[in-house]
């Protein structure tokens, strides 16, 4: 029996049930109303309003420049299009790392204005006080370990994380700390598959991977990548389900040609 097919609305409890029943969790990003509506109608479990909006929507090189107000704008737009999936909004860089009160205030602002279901933040031990404080206020928190794009300037590259024993050990400890602090789920990004599987086995909460192998409890991708809207980004973990970049360029090229040749609009496409 499928847990997710039975429910009208995906909640954090539904995700916990899915892990318990060994049912994999599907998660995709969305940043606007129209896309979120389609993704929700197609049966996704979780929609992440990722700070990857900074890259794919705004064209920045990193996720660092996106602001709280910009994330709230995307979050509000997504929530309006969703009736079933759990909506999680990323807390952007610089809105929670300062201190736990700042983190709490940022999380409250996101929840109050967007009406989303949860927030996500990057980091382990360093962010535990903030996670506890946000959870205590009644806001569900999703953790994020492994490759943490908001720390790109600390690491310098987007390569696979936690390959070495010391880093792997810290990641496992951080995952346990996040669970103890009350996170309802965590994302593991770009780590060895064996490590992903180990963390998913050790934790009771769902572990959702992006480049963390098949042994975790669910998978997340950036929608622009899996639909083939982005072309220059081809990591090993990415499966492309469409080549929308080519389709869109083809359609736009046809429109340009039709306008130039006066084929568009024809008689049926205008008013008497």
> Footprint of ligand KIV on residues 126-145 (CB under 6 A)?
none
Cα-flanking dihedrals φ and ψ of residue 145, to 5°? -130, 175
Let me know if 61 is a catalytic residue. Answer: no
- What is the Cα 265 distance to its own chain's centre? 41
> Which of 47, 220, 226, 227 forms a contact with ligand KIV (CB under 6 A)?
220
Stretch (H or E) spanning 143: strand 141-146
- Of 36, 118, 168, 222, which lies in the binding site for ligand KIV, with binding defined by CB under 6 A? 222
Q: Report, in Å, the least distance between residue 1 CB and ligand KIV.
A: 28
DSSP state of 23: P
CB 240 within 8 A of CB 253: no
Where b means 16+ CB within 10 Å and e means fewer, 133-150 reads bbbeeebbbbbbbbbbbb
Write out the two tokens for 129: 């006080």
**207 near ligand KIV, judged by CB under 6 A:** no
Q: Which of 5, 11, 2, 24 is nearest to 213 (CA)?
A: 24
Q: Select the residue interacting with ligand KIV from 19, 50, 127, 216 (CB under 6 A).
A: 50
Structure tokens at 88: 């999680």
Q: Which stretch binds ligand KIV (CB under 6 A): 15-23, 49-57, 171-179, 252-260?
A: 49-57
Eight-class DSSP state of 269: G
CB of 180 to ligand KIV, least distance (A): 22
Interface characters, 61-100, with ligand KIV (x: CB under 6 A): -----------------------------x----------
**Is 54 strand, coil or helix?**
helix
Q: Give me the least distance between CB of 262 and ligand KIV, in Å please.
A: 43
User: CB of 218: closest distance to ligand KIV in angstroms?
Assistant: 11
Residues 123 and 131: their CA atoms lie apart, in Å, by 10
Q: Among the candidate windows 48-56, 81-89, 230-238, 242-250, which touches ligand KIV by CB under 6 A?
A: 48-56
Strands 46-49 and 86-90: parallel
Instruction: Please report whether residue 187 would count as binding ligand KIV according to CB under 6 A.
Output: yes
Contact residues: ligand KIV, CB under 6 A: 29, 48, 50-52, 90, 187, 189, 210, 220, 222
**Catalytic amino acids?**
189
């Amino acid at each position: 029996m499928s847990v997710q097919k039975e429910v009208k609305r995906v909640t954090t409890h539904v995700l916990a049930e899915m892990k318990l029943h060994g049912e994999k969790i599907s998660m995709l990003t969305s940043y606007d109303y129209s896309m979120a509506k389609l993704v929700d109608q197609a049966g996704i479990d979780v929609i992440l309003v990722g700070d990857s909006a900074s890259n794919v929507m705004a064209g920045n090189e990193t996720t660092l420049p996106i602001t709280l107000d910009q994330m709230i704008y995307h979050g509000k737009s997504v929530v309006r299009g969703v009736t079933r999936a759990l909506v999680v909004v990323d807390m952007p860089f610089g809105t929670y790392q300062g201190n736990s009160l700042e983190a709490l205030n940022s999380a409250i602002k996101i929840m109050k204005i967007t009406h989303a279901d949860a927030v996500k933040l990057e980091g382990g031990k360093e962010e535990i006080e903030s996670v506890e404080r946000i959870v205590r206020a009644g806001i569900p928190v999703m953790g994020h370990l492994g490759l943490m794009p908001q720390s790109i300037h600390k690491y310098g590259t987007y390569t696979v994380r936690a390959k070495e024993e010391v880093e792997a050990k810290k990641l496992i400890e951080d995952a346990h700390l996040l669970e103890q602090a009350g996170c309802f789920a965590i994302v593991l990004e770009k780590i060895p598959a064996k490590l992903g599987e180990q963390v998913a086995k050790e934790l009771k909460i769902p572990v959702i991977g992006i480049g963390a192998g098949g042994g975790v409890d669910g998978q997340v991708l950036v929608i622009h990548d899996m639909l083939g809207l982005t072309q220059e980004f081809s990591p090993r973990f990415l499966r492309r389900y469409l080549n929308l970049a080519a389709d869109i360029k083809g359609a736009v090229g046809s429109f340009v040609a039709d306008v130039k040749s006066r084929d568009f609009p024809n008689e049926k496409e205008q008013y008497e």
